[in-house]
């Protein structure tokens, strides 16, 4: 990731890596005018973005250059050199140049996103605040900022600052009034042992067997992101079959995780060597069967079924008696879908709360039908109607 910077002015024609030619299928996909799904475009990010169709992408994950440079050589306490980010693609002459680059790629990302699509962009204190201003000026609407707290960060060897132990991600919809964007809330809750997932994520940096190496055994890319981070991002904000775009593809973490989760991907990467590593990596990935890729569905995404629908369809007859848990309470169903108890009438929720002396109640789970097999929740009938609608 973070290797596909476009230059402003006379620096637009920066030196290109000695590269193998792009694979034929990537060229054909771009020339045909079709959305080049499941391919890596070997080229400049802004130029490649400009050739993608309007409103064609469901999710953008961007790990742009951070404009991060070490001030001179940095040594560990044992005098070994720290392998920092000193590549040409992460160097900008000024903040103004970086802002121009940021505005250009963000504007294209905004254009290619569907109205229901969302953007994720990650950065450090060096750049994320400038990126945040740019995306808001372009029209994106910030939904969350997520703090990725690294469980194994690199120490601060100079001892002049706090250890940089986190990075920040901004999650944004296409505009303030965007509706229908994907957020798999219940899936995130399930992933977090049935606790609501917070905006601070504790995950390790990429290391060990996950870290890709070159032929000399060195890190193939200095800023490779862990698959656990992308797993959470993609699972939270997309669905199987969606198109996930990464304009700074690097060694392909986004593509690998997207394929594993049954999403389509588009990667843009200027460095041909990184693109080749990414392609080989993705080719090795096998995604699970469709049933295994399904996630816990958000209740808000399910069709609304009024209790009266059960009456209209004859699934419950007027006059039927409903029971609370353990048959401690009972109420009679009326023709309009309301319930009646001594001294009160109202909805399944209102009467459920009334008989318990509570402020609120989920009537769907509180009320039950009596049968020879015992008590059955009326929610079972609602789920049957929902299944018919899907």
The whole-number pLDDT of residue 217 equals: 63
Per-residue pLDDT for 112 more than 70? yes
What pLDDT, on a 0 to 100 scale, did the predictor assign at position 152? 79
CATH superfamily to which 39-69+82-293 belongs: Vaccinia Virus protein VP39 (3.40.50.150)
Query: Which pLDDT band, with edges at 50, 70 and 90, does 390 fall under?
Result: low
pLDDT of 94 over the 50 cut:
yes
pLDDT band (50, 70, 90) for residue 78: low
Percent of the chain residues topping a pLDDT of 70: 79
SS (H, E, C) the chain: CCCCCCCCHHHHCCCCCCCCCCCHHHHHHHHCCCCCCCEEEECCHHHHHHCCCCCCEEEEEECCCCCCCCCCCCECCCCCECCCCCCHHHCCCCHHHHHHHHHHHHHHHHHHEEEEEEEEEEECCCCHHHHHHHHHHHCCEEEEEEEEEECCCCCCCCCCCCCCCEEEEEEEECCCCCCCCCCCHHHHHHHCCCCCCCCEEEECCCCHHHCCECCCCCECCCCCCCHHHHHHHHHHHCCCCCEEEECCCCCCHHHHHHHHCCCEEEEEECCHHHHHHHHHHHHCCCCCCHHHHCCCCCHHHCCCCCHHHHHHCCCCCCCCEEECHHHCCEEEECCCCCEEECCEEECHHHHHHHHHCCCCCCHHHHCEEEECCEEEECHHHHHHHHHHHC
**pLDDT value of residue 90:** 54
What's the pLDDT at 11? 34
Report the pLDDT value the prediction gives residue 275, as an integer from 0 to 100: 92
Give the least confident one: 124-128, 177-181, 207-211, 330-334.
Answer: 207-211
Task: Spell out the residues 6+ positions from residue 338 whose beta carbon is closer than 8 angstroms to its own.
Answer: 345, 346, 347, 351
pLDDT tens, residue by residue, 29-38: 433 458 999 9
Residue 218 binned pLDDT confidence (cut-offs 50, 70, 90) = low
pLDDT at residue 284 is higher than 80:
yes
| Number of neighbouring beta carbons within 10 Å of residue 24 | 8
**What pLDDT shows up at residue 294?**
82
Tokens for 375? 């008590």
What mean pLDDT is predicted for residues 316-339? 95
Q: What is the mean pLDDT of residues 258-275?
A: 94
Predicted pLDDT at 388: 82
How sure is the predictor about 290, in pLDDT bands with cuts at 50, 70 and 90? confident
Query: 39-48, 70-79, 105-114, 119-128: lowest mean pLDDT where?
Result: 70-79
Among 10-19, 48-57, 94-103, name the one with the lowest average pLDDT: 10-19
The predicted model gives 120-127 an average pLDDT of: 94
Residue-level pLDDT at 166: 93
| Bigger pLDDT: 150 vs 287 | 150
- pLDDT of residue 81 exceeding 50, the answer is no
Average pLDDT over residues 270-286: 92
Mean pLDDT of 68-85: 49
pLDDT at 89 over 70: no
Angstrom CA distances, 223 to 64, 95, 139, stand at 11, 21, 28
Mean of pLDDT over the chain: 84
> Considering the entire predicted model, what is its pTM?
0.69
Higher pLDDT, 322 or 222: 322
Which pLDDT does position 122 carry in this prediction? 96
Does position 297 have pLDDT exceeding 50, yes or no? yes
Asked whether the predicted pLDDT for residue 73 surpasses 90, the reply is: no
Within 8 A by CB and 6+ apart from 261, the residues are 231, 234, 235, 238, 240, 287, 293
Which residue has better confidence, 183 or 304? 183
- What number is the average pLDDT over the span 239-251? 95
């Amino acid at each position: 990731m973070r290797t596909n910077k476009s230059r402003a002015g006379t620096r637009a024609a920066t030196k290109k890596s000695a590269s193998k030619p792009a694979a034929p299928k990537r060229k054909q996909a771009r020339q045909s005018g079709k959305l080049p799904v499941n391919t890596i475009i070997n080229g400049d990010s802004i130029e490649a973005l400009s050739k993608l169709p309007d409103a064609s992408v469901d999710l953008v994950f961007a790990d742009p250059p951070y404009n991060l440079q070490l001030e001179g050589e940095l040594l560990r306490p044992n005098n070994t050199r720290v392998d920092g980010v000193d590549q040409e693609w992460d160097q900008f002459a000024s903040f103004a140049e970086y802002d121009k680059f940021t505005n250009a790629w963000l504007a294209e990302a905004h254009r290619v996103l569907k109205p229901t699509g969302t953007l994720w962009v990650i950065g450090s204190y060096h750049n994320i605040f400038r990126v945040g201003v740019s995306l808001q000026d372009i029209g994106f609407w910030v939904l969350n900022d997520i703090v990725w707290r690294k469980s194994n960060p690199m120490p601060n060897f100079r001892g002049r600052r706090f250890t940089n132990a986190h990075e920040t991600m901004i999650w944004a919809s296409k505009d303030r009034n965007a509706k229908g964007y994907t957020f798999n809330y219940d899936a995130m809750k399930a992933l977090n042992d049935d606790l609501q997932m917070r905006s601070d994520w504790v995950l390790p940096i990429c290391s060990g067997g996950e870290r890709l190496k070159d032929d000399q055994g060195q890190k193939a890319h200095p800023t490779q992101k862990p698959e656990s981070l992308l797993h959470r991002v993609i699972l939270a904000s997309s669905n199987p079959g969606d198109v996930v775009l990464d304009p700074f593809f690097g060694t392909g973490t986004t593509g690998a995780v997207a394929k594993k989760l049954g999403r389509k991907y588009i990667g843009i990467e200027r460095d041909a060597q990184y693109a080749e590593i990414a392609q080989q990596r993705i080719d090795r990935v096998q995604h699970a069967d469709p049933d295994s890729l399904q996630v816990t569905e958000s209740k808000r995404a399910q069709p609304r079924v009024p209790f009266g629908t059960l009456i209209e369809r004859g699934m419950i007859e007027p006059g039927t008696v409903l029971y609370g848990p353990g048959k401690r309470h009972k109420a009679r169903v009326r023709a309009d879908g309301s319930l009646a108890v001594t001294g009160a009438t109202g909805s399944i929720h209102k009467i459920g709360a009334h008989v318990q002396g509570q402020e609120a109640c989920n009537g769907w789970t509180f009320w039950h039908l009596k049968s020879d097999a015992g008590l059955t929740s009326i929610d079972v009938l609602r789920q049957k109607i929902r299944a018919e609608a899907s």
